[in-house]
Amino acid sequence: MHAVLVTAYKDYPSLLRLVRRLDPSFFKLFIHIDRKSAIGAKQLDELRSLGAEVSKTFTVRWGSYTHLQAILQLMTAAVGESRFDYVHIVSGQDYPLWNATEFERRCNGPIFIDYGPLEEQPPFVRHRYELRDPFHFLLNDRFGSRPVHKFLTRKSAWIRERIGKPRTQFGPYETLYKAHVWSSLPGWACARLLSDRVAAEFVAAIRNTRVAEEIFFPTYFMNSGMAGAVVKDDLRYTDWSDRNGSNPAYLDESDAEAVLGSNALFARKVSSGTSGRLLDTIDVARFGRAGSVAQAAA
């Protein structure tokens, strides 16, 4: 079996369609709903009735450490069941492109993360980690404010870049790697990570780091004895352009050929308002059922 860890905060119809599409005889879903989300108790009960384990623990703001906390909470729950060959980290706006048979065939041991050295990233990305963020509490606090955080960090950027001493040590590591958190990991690799005191030390060191989840997993695996198992591919189809009101783009029916011709196991990101026809096309092409899941999720 495979575990699917889902973090979500909006677009309940897309989340519900994702849950209904994944075969419960092979996939077990562990879902964290943002505590500030409008997704309510009735909808949580519906997800649980479909076999998902659902929590609503953390207030997750973009860039805050709480997103990593939510993912690690879900991973701990999944690894605790000790029956999953793979763990897939996705958002509530992802969609599977293959059935369970293909997932089992393709996920045959590697750690799938599309990583790169932090030093090769643009300056604004490196600064998230190299420059200390004195206002990070505005992201982690339940009553914090991302707009206020953004305003203060921009206003103080010039001073921090010129008088702030860049960090070169992050807990046990000097060399950092960056990747989008959406990845597919063998169960054994997750179990080792969760039990490793070095990983725990790294988590503690980046608690006040923006977008901590994007450096945690690739840095840990690439600095461990497991680096040889890492494949530089996250198995996700993503269009990194400004389109349909989002970057990455919300995929639509014009993306069908590219999505279905890709090497991906998941497509992201999708929305109930923009991606319906695309998802219907995927359902017909890969699952042999037209409209049934879409109608059920409506």
pLDDT at position 139 is 77
Q: Kind of pairing, strands 177-178 and 116-117?
A: antiparallel
> What is residue 144's predicted lDDT score, i.e. its pLDDT?
77
Q: Which of 48-52, 116-120, 125-129, 253-257 has the lowest mean pLDDT?
A: 125-129
Pair 269, 10: CB distance under 8 Å: no
Instruction: Supply the pLDDT for residue 167.
Output: 80
Q: How much is the average pLDDT of 110-122?
A: 96
- pLDDT, position 124: 85
- What mean pLDDT comes out for the span 87-91? 98
Q: Which residue type does 43 have?
A: Q
Residue 156: its pLDDT value, please?
79
| CA distance between the termini of the chain | 28
Angle between helix 197-205 and helix 213-222 axes, rounded to 10 deg: 150
Question: Of 277, 284, 257, 234, nearest to 91 (Cα)?
Answer: 234
Sign of the torsion angle spanned by Cα atoms 130, 206, 71, 41: negative
CB 230 within 8 A of CB 247: no
Evaluate whether residue 58 is within a structural domain.
yes
Q: What is the pLDDT of residue 228?
A: 96
Cα separation, 122 vs 111, in Å, equals 25
DSSP E strands, 17-83: 27-33, 53-55
What does the angle CA 247 – CA 253 – CA 254 come to, to the nearest 5 degrees? 75
Per the structure, how many domains does the chain have? 1
Average pLDDT (200-225) is 94
pLDDT at 230: 97
Residues 120-143: what's their mean pLDDT?
A: 81
Asked whether residue 264 is domain-assigned, the answer is yes
Q: How far apart are CA 152 and CA 232, in angstroms?
A: 36
Residue 167 lies in a domain: no
- Residue 210: exposure state from Cβ atoms within 10 A (0-12, 13-18, ≥19): buried
Q: Is residue 74 part of a domain?
A: yes
Average pLDDT over residues 40-45: 96
Nearest Cα to 56, choosing from 40, 77, 72, 79? 40
Say what the pLDDT of residue 294 is.
45
Q: Does pLDDT of 214 surpass 80?
A: yes
Predicted local confidence at residue 296, as pLDDT: 46
Helix, strand or coil, per DSSP, at residue 268: strand
Question: What per-residue confidence (pLDDT) applies to 207?
Answer: 87
Q: What angle do CA 282, 93, 144 make, to 5 degrees?
A: 175
How far apart CA 72 and CA 5 sit, in angstroms, is 9
> What average pLDDT does the chain have?
91
Is residue 47, in this structure, part of any structural domain at all? yes
d(CA 5, CA 13): 18
| 178 found inside a domain | no
Instruction: Tell me what percent of the residues of the chain surpass a pLDDT of 90.
Output: 74
> What's the pLDDT band for 88 if we cut at 50, 70, 90?
very high
Q: What is the pLDDT of residues 166-182, one digit of tens each?
A: 787 889 999 999 999 99
**Residue 234: how many CA atoms within 13 Å on its side-chain side?**
22
Is the pLDDT higher at 142 or at 206?
A: 206
Instruction: Give me the domain span that covers residue 254.
Output: 2-108+235-297
AA identity, residue 199: A
Among the ranges given (215-224, 270-279, 287-296), the one the predictor scored with the smallest mean pLDDT: 287-296
Strand partners, 246: 243
pLDDT over 70 at 118, yes or no: yes
Residue 217, both tokens: 């997993």
Q: What is the pLDDT of residue 290?
A: 57
145 has pLDDT over 50: yes
**pLDDT reported for residue 297:** 45
Q: Reply yes or no on whether the pLDDT at 295 is more than 70.
A: no
In this predicted structure, the answer to whether residue 292 has a pLDDT above a threshold of 60 is no
Partners of 95 in the β-ladder: 267
Task: Give the span between the Cα atoms of 254 and 281, in whole angstroms.
Answer: 11
Question: Residue 31 domain-assigned?
Answer: yes
pLDDT at position 58 is: 92
> Tens digits of per-residue pLDDT, 243-285?
999 999 999 999 999 999 999 999 999 999 999 999 999 999 9
> Do the domain assignments include residue 84?
yes
Nearest 10 degrees: Cα torsion 93, 31, 59, 43? 80
**Rounded CA separation 222/227 (Å):** 5
Look at 6 and 169; give whichever has higher pLDDT: 6
